[in-house]
Amino acid sequence: MLDSPSVDLDLETTQREGFSIVSLRGEIDVYTAPLLRQTLVDAIEQGAVNVIVDMERVDFLDSTGLGVLVEGLKRVKTREGHFAIVATQDKILKIFDITGLNKAFPIHSSVDDALSEATAGS
Amino acid sequence: MTEPKAVPDLELEFPARPEFVRAARHAVSALARLSGASEEVVEDIKLAVSEACNTAVAANAEAGSEAVELRAFDSPARLVIEVMDRGANPERTVSGPPEELDTGDLPFERALSLPIIRGLVDELAIAPRGDRGAVVRMTVSLEGQGR
């Protein structure tokens, strides 16, 4: 069911400077979040320790999507890696603010910022 | 809190399955736009409705997959949205201004959804629904939204 064309979430994973960059487009909700979870789990199981989730083209994010991001953060942290979010849209930032998870994730305004911050801090 | 009018401006019944939550939030957001809500408020409503529907879908799926029901009432100053499930009753009724609600005693699966809803709506009430289930009633003010 997850690879059905009706799923309104596109995911693309690219590699850059030792980071796996997961770029998302569409809506992350209770139906599509499992697809994001599987993508993150696969990337981390295949050895990714530094992950950037690019949410610039995400139209919607709910608590199930947040739960998946928290799980990804935990998995990466046990491998002493970096897990960062790229988001600038108010509607996406708001849910991080309400839940206090803006303190758990480094949130950047672009993939370039996320990369330079993460590599500077390591 | 006054009771909403008798005939809803939107009434939905959908299977307690995750893929239908998107349809529910888009239907309510279309009504909110029709009511003159700003895009920011429309986004808040979309998220609040989704969280309430997620909880209702989970509650109903556990109870045997009955339909989730949603009603929305549009009035000049506000939009009232009710999401109704048939899950186990909430352990107690909570009602009042969102920031004053103590949700600590509610079942765990509502732990993340409720604080999010509280952060988005102007008024939130959760009440038992007859002998089984709950009604989550969310009120969003539309004042200053071009009315």
Q: Is the pLDDT of residue B99 over 70?
A: no
Nearest to B43 among A31, A91, A98 (CB): A91
CB A89 within 8 A of CB A97: no
Please identify which residue in the block is written with the tokens 């994010």.
A61
pLDDT in tens, B41-67: 999 999 999 999 999 998 898 888 689
User: Cβ–Cβ of B22/A67 closer than 8 Å?
Assistant: no
The per-residue pLDDT for B144 is: 73
Residue B45 exposure: Cα atoms within 13 Å on the Cβ side: 29
* Domains annotated on chain A, with CATH: 9-110 (3.30.750.24)
Whether the CA torsion B124, B135, B35, B3 is positive or negative: it is negative
How confident is the model over A110-117, as a mean pLDDT?
95
* Residues in B 83-142 with any Cβ partner in A closer than 8 A: 112-113, 115-116, 119-120
User: Cβ–Cβ of A99/B47 closer than 8 Å?
Assistant: no
User: pLDDT-based confidence at A114, cuts 50/70/90?
Assistant: very high
Q: Any idea of the CA torsion for B55, B57, B59, B62, to the nearest 10 degrees?
A: -140
How confident is the model over B134-138, as a mean pLDDT?
94
Average pLDDT, chain A: 92
Q: Which residue has the higher pLDDT, B60 or B131?
A: B60
Sketch the domain layout of chain B as residue ranges.
10-141
CA distance B118 to B8: 23
Relative to beta strand B68-75, strand B10-14 is: antiparallel
The per-residue pLDDT for B89 is: 55
The per-residue pLDDT for B66 is: 86
pLDDT in tens, B84-96: 998 875 544 455 5
Q: Does domain B10-141 have CATH number 3.30.565.10?
A: yes
Name, in order, each residue with C-beta under 8 angstroms of A27's C-beta and a sequence gap of 6 or more. A8, A9, A58, A59, A60, B22
The per-residue pLDDT for B79 is: 97
Q: Look up residue B25 and give its two tokens.
A: 């939030």
CB B73 within 8 A of CB A81: no
ipTM entry: 0.90
CA distance A30 to A45: 23
How confident is the model over A86-108, as a mean pLDDT?
95
